[in-house]
Amino acid sequence: MKKILFLASLMILTCALSFAQDGVKKKRQRAYDYGQVILSNFSEKAGLPPVTFNHWTHRSKYTCRLCHLDLAFEMRPNATEISADDIQQGFYCGACHNGTSRHDGQTIFAACDTTQKPSKTTNCERCHQPGKDPQMKANFYAFSKNMPADRFGNKINWELAEEQGLITPIDFIEGVSSHSAPMPVQKDFALNAGVESMPNILFSHQKHTVWNGCQTCHPDIFVGVKKGATTYSMIEIFEQKYCGACHSTVAFPLQECQRCHTEPVQ
């Protein structure tokens, strides 16, 4: 009987998942645009195409923490309200895309010089393009073929890529990041799935802190005062709350049940 109930809840959840991904949000599931964000607060009003931002290009080079904390990018599409002016003053994208900052020995291309017109030489269209850049797709496959494979999302196992030293994301930019002492890292813990025969979730504070720091999760996503103080369900997670804020948009998606539900059931 319990087993039947469990299977029923599983089916509802799986439906919720496909609905969330095909119905409401129209999330595309192509490896190269998983984690893509279209920024369209100001560009179209100024007569330019919206801006396409890819997480895969950037997360292979920088930590989540660097952008979402030090550079103050919100974790919601279009919530930061970045303008060309901000960028020209060196904020947000302009902290790197300023024509002088370097990465891997190369100068990073500059952004939003509004005295110029979009043309072949001004690089405007590298950002101001509606997500159809064929070069980007080719670049993605050239990059991902050397990375450990995964089944969903970017189809790259980012965790392994980092463990194997294939990527070493930068966590600090001189003049932008602060030198504040790191917080003591909290212990890893198990979350009880609350359903018999559904494996419990092993959550690694340690690993998540390396990627995210503390403040990307606390207090916005998890109040985190005390384990168990916030209760959340798989349905809410499918609605992109809690773990789902990252694990349905940028980190490995929710189809990979067993990567979270790993602890054997007692």
- Token pair, residue 146, equals 């050397």
Residue with tokens 């212990």: 187
- The reply to whether 194 sits near ligand HEC by the rule CB under 6 A is yes
Q: Residues 20, 31, 75, 161: which binds ligand HEC (CB under 6 A)?
A: 75
Cβ distance to ligand HEC smaller for residue 110 or 145 = 110
CA atoms in the 13 A half-sphere facing the CB of 148: 11
Give the tokens for residue 52: 């396409």
Site for ligand HEC in 215-254 (CB under 6 A): 216-218, 221-224, 226-227, 229-235, 237, 242-243, 245-247, 249-252, 254
Pick one of 37, 98, 147, 161: the residue that binds ligand HEC (CB under 6 A). Answer: 37
Q: Tokens 């279009």 belong to which residue?
A: 78
Q: Is 159 in the site for ligand HEC (CB under 6 A)?
A: yes
Cβ distance 201 to 261 under 8 Å?
yes
Question: Is residue 20 a contact point for ligand HEC (CB under 6 A)?
Answer: no
Residues near 124 by Cβ (< 8 Å), separated by ≥ 6? Answer: 48, 116, 118
Asked if residues 153 and 36 have their Cβ atoms less than 8 Å apart, the reply is no
User: First and final CA of the chain: distance in angstroms?
Assistant: 18
- Beta carbon nearer to ligand HEC, 31 or 97: 97
Is residue 138 close enough to count as binding ligand HEC by CB under 6 A? Answer: no
User: Of residues 116, 164, 168, 197, which one binds ligand HEC by CB under 6 A?
Assistant: 116
Out of 20, 31, 51, 161, point to the residue binding ligand HEC (CB under 6 A). Answer: 51
User: Per CB under 6 A, does 48 bind ligand HEC?
Assistant: yes
